[in-house]
């Protein structure tokens, strides 16, 4: 579905839900998830419906993920960096996490 441009940045190793994946320097977290074939990055708190990156510009909040232990980060606005740990958000987040 998505194709990386030929002039993409250097490889960057990140972890998503405990699985190592390769992203590229300059990618956002949301873009890295999509390229890796991860079909959703969170589920809604009430119904558990899956949500994936939608607007990719910080307006819709459908790409919320936990980045290095900090929850509810907009994946479309966070650039990947070497060693980053990303977790999908399933349902309601616990207070303080």
For the chain, the structural domain boundaries read: 11-88
pLDDT reported for residue 93: 61
Mean pLDDT of the chain: 90
pLDDT of 94 > 90? The answer is no
Report the C-alpha gap between 15 and 50 in whole angstroms.
Answer: 20
Both tokens of residue 43? Answer: 């589920």
Q: 70, 76 in Cβ contact below 8 A?
A: no
Q: pLDDT tens digits, residue range 13-33? A: 999 999 999 999 999 999 999
**Close Cβ partners of 83 (under 8 Å, ≥ 6 residues apart):** 13, 14, 15
CATH 3.10.310.30 for domain 11-88, yes or no, is no
pLDDT reported for residue 85: 98
């Amino acid at each position: 579905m998505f194709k990386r441009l030929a002039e993409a940045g250097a490889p960057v190793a990140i972890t998503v839900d405990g699985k190592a994946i390769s992203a590229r320097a300059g990618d956002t977290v949301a873009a890295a998830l999509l390229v890796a074939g991860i079909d959703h990055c969170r589920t809604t708190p009430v119904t558990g419906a899956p949500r994936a990156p939608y607007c990719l510009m910080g307006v819709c909040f459908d790409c919320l993920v936990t980045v290095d232990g900090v929850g509810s980060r907009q994946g479309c606005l966070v650039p990947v960096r070497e060693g980053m740990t990303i977790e999908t958000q399933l349902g309601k987040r616990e207070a303080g996490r």
